[in-house]
Amino acid sequence: MLPFHKVYFDSNLAIKEGWPKVSAQFKRTLRLAKILQTTVILLDVVERELEAHWVRQYDELQGAVANLHKLHGQVGLTTTPGLDAAEVKAAYRKSIDQMVSEHGLVRMQCELRPTMEFFEMAISESKPFQKKGRNFQDAVICLAAIDELAKDPTHIGVFLTKDSNFDQKMLDALCGPRKVRLLLFPDLNQLSETFISELDERFKKTWDEDQKEAAKVVGENLSLISAYLAKNLEIPATLGFGGDILSVEQIEDITVSSVRTPFPLEREDGKPFILTAELEVSLRAIVRGPSIPWFLSQPPTVRVGSAVLNPYLPPLKQTTNEPTEQIIKRTVQVEIRATEKDGQYSNLEPVSVSLK
């Protein structure tokens, strides 16, 4: 049996996973929880903070668009009116409702603790508060999860967060007065692996075979993936003490390290889904050794087939080292849309790439 009954996640983790259009890995974890009948709770304080964060981003971009429209007007171009704010917020909330329904999230209203309790914790810098009372939102979310869990003291919960402010010792201290247990999980991988280990061996064997078949198909479609990477992969244009990348000439080789697929029982034959491939990519690049300490500048990025002139170095210093051709290797994660029917994969389409 799983060592817990409920899962809570904080807003930090959700934002890093792309909320409200979350990553394939986050969706996969939610599906596993649903299969294993583990309750994943969306606390109202988390939902409100996530909405506020998204609205702030939207407002910032609206400001940028307004400035663009002003420039258009200066040269006689007509401006396009933006969407109504209420309409945008309604669209956001509709997308959240759809995700809650699809993945079986349980919305939970929180009864927040008295202001004085938070004040005392803040001035005494009790974790998760830090100096000068920072991390108020983290404290509210954490204590809300503990108090919700305390409604059924027989239950054990998971607190899913990527925030380094939390540790298990701190959670144990906060849970003690409520006589509950909240386990700290620092990333989605740990939670997914816990779910996977709980699955019946027969299903795990089926899944292993499925992922081997997916890896084989990905390996057979490396030309497609290489073309996608050539257009979309960006890497830092510095090698640290090794110098700077002046240009990336081409992708020399790609090796498939692993492929993760959604659990077979979650999928429907012929319906598209996302698989995640981890790849080792060898790039043929033109490199020049450092002419100033590498840590004095924040480098730009470079794409395959393009050249970079480091704007932070004076032209004369750019020529002090002779460029050389090198093979550099990077580990990347590619999300690929695919369909599967009767064990056969088809219609592979890369949709995103990021450095590991």
According to the model, what pLDDT value does residue 179 have? 92
Q: Which two tokens stand for residue 294?
A: 């590498």
Residues 6+ apart with CB under 8 A from 158: 4, 6, 7, 8, 182, 183, 184, 185, 191
Residue 334's closest CA among 242, 254, 268, 267? 254
The answer on pLDDT for 318 being more than 50 is no
CA distance 271 to 262: 12
Q: Which two tokens stand for residue 274?
A: 């996302």
The neighbour count for residue 324, using CB atoms within 10 Å, is 12
Q: Which two tokens stand for residue 83?
A: 């969407």
Which 3 state secondary structure label does DSSP give 10? coil
The answer on pLDDT for 299 being more than 60 is no
Q: What is the pTM of this model?
A: 0.57
Which 3 state secondary structure label does DSSP give 322? coil
Residue with the bigger pLDDT between 133 and 339: it is 339
Which of the four pLDDT bands, split at 50, 70 and 90, describes residue 88?
A: confident
pLDDT tens track for 91-104: 999 999 999 999 99
Q: Which uninterrupted H or E stretch holds 346?
A: strand 344-355
Contact 148, 43 (CB under 8 A): yes
CA distance 140 to 84: 32
CATH numbers and ranges of domains, the chain: 6-195 (3.40.50.1010), 210-355 (no CATH)
């077979």: which residue's tokens? Answer: 264
Residue 310's closest CA among 320, 302, 321, 299? 299
Number of alpha carbons in the 13 Å side-chain half-sphere of residue 183: 15
